[in-house]
Amino acid sequence: MMSHEAFVFLSYGASAVTLAGLLAAILLDGRARRRELAELEAQGVRRRSKPAGGAS
């Protein structure tokens, strides 16, 4: 049987790992999407709705 401290430690540890993992996944996803957009724009692909010379 684990000590009560171990149950508390595991609960806080698992919460920290899960939330940090979620944050990391969202940050990596954002970085990948911005890279894709930059690549497309470098290839000269433009959004139809984007105003000429305007930042999106």
Partner 1 sequence: MSDTTISQGWFTSLANPTRFLALSGRLLPYLATAAVLSLLIGLFMSFAAPEDYQQGITVRIMFIHVPAAWLAMMCYSVMAIASIGTLVWRHPLADVAAKTALPIGAAFTFLSLLTGSLWGRPMWGTWWVWDARLTSVFVLFLMYLGLMALHKAMDDPARAARPAAVLTLVGFINIPIIKFSVDWWNTLHQPASVIRLDGPTIHPSMLYPLLVMALAYTLIFFTLHLMAMRNEILRRRVQTMRRQAAQAIGGGA
What is the nearest approach in angstroms of partner 1 to the Cβ of residue 32?
9
Angle 4-1-15 (CA atoms, 0-180°, nearest 5)? 50
Contact 56, 50 (CB under 8 A): yes
Q: Establish if 20 lies at the interface with partner 1 (CB under 8 A).
A: no
**Closest distance of CB 40 from partner 1, Å:** 5
4 interacts with partner 1 by CB under 8 A:
yes
Counting Cα atoms < 13 Å in the Cβ hemisphere of 39 gives 6
Is 7 among the residues that bind partner 1 (CB under 8 A)?
A: yes
CB atoms within 10 A of CB 19: 10
| Residues near partner 1 (CB under 8 A) | 2, 4-5, 7-8, 10-12, 14-15, 18-19, 22-23, 25-27, 29-30, 33-34, 36-37, 40, 43, 45-48, 56
